[in-house]
Chain A
């Protein structure tokens, strides 16, 4: 298995632009998580899905953030409009029950 696949690896954009991050979970995993990692706050859970249904989105910072999981093999995290304080590494992870497998992350820089 190729593991959790995220794209793009790096994204540089200007403030106000829309950003879409993509994730392909490991086949057969029924949980999908979006995390954000910064030096100041470490890893933070944004949202997670179970069987494509959002279960807990309490970590989504603002209405500018939205996430979808249209099917078991694909999820997106969208930021619209983006702001400089959104700059971070965004990780997608998938799981069957307890053991999480992380993707390599998307390094987002908002100028």
Chain B
């Protein structure tokens, strides 16, 4: 069964600290893995997209890693800011050849950054 599991479910950190969010998946055949940030009351916004051959990708203070062998990904946030408070959603795309792959969503990690 194609699934995406995220941990922790929620996380509270102090401003300026680093944190790492985890994503495990069983989606096959794998096409790519994305991390989205969803602010309260808004739609998800793409942070990173990684294909099978990529094992790390950065977007400012966000760095995503991918281990396609163990089917794990992590999102590391450096020097957190209050504006990082949001839900972070891991999404895995299944390969469907030339057509758009089916997306499988994790339930998200709710991050709260305190001053």
Chain A interface (Cβ < 8 Å from any Cβ of B): 4, 31, 42-45, 48, 50, 56, 91, 93, 95, 97-105
Decide if A42 touches B108 in the complex (CB within 8 Å): yes
Chain B interface (Cβ < 8 Å from any Cβ of A): 32, 41-46, 49, 89, 93, 99-103, 105-108
Q: Which of A31, A103, A105 has the most CB of B within 10 A?
A: A105
Count CB-based A-B contacts (< 8 Å). Answer: 43
Q: Which of A31, A44, A101 has the most CB of B within 10 A?
A: A101
Decide if A42 touches B105 in the complex (CB within 8 Å): yes
Contacts of A103 in B (CB 8 A): 43
Min CB gap A84→B, angstroms: 21
Query: With A42-B105, A43-B105 in contact, do A104 and B41 touch (Cβ < 8 Å)?
Result: yes
Identify A42's interface contact among B46, B49, B100, B106, CB under 8 A: B106
Min CB gap B18→A, angstroms: 26
Contacts of B45 in A (CB 8 A): 102
Min CB gap B43→A, angstroms: 3
Decide if A100 touches B46 in the complex (CB within 8 Å): yes
Contacts of A42 in B (CB 8 A): 89, 105-108
Give A103 to B45 CA distance when docked, in angstroms.
9
Identify A98's interface contact among B32, B44, B102, B106, CB under 8 A: B32
